[in-house]
Structure 1
Amino acid sequence: MTAAPTAPDRPLALVTGASSGIGAASARRLAADGYRVVCAARRQERIEVLAAEIGGTALACDVTDAGQVAALAAAVGPSLDLLVNNAGLALGMEPVAEADLDSWQTMYAVNVLGAAAVTKAVLPALVQAHGQIIVMTSTAADLPYEGGAGYCGAKAAERAMTGALRLELYDTDVRIAEICPGMVRTDEFAVNRFDGDATRAAKVYEGVTAPLTAEDVADCVGWVAGRPHHVNIDRLTVRPRAQAAQHKVHRVVG
Structure 2
Amino acid sequence: MPDPDLHPFDPGRLASFADVLAGELPGTWRSIHHFPPTAEALAAVADRTWDLDLVAESLATHPPGHLAVLTREDGAQLVLLDRHDGRDGFLTAALAPEDLPAEAFRGIREPNGIALGDDPFLAAEMITGDLLARYEAAVAQVRVNAARLADPSGTELVHPSQPERLVLTWQSDGDLAASPATEAAAAILLANGFTHDERTGVYRLSGDDTAVQARAVRRAGSELAARGIATALAPPAAPPATTVSTPTPRPAKARAATGRSR
User: TM over 0.5, yes or no?
Assistant: no
Q: Please tell me whether Structure 1 or Structure 2 has the larger radius of gyration of its CA atoms.
A: 2
TM superposition score normalised by structure 1 = 0.27
TM superposition score normalised by structure 2 = 0.26
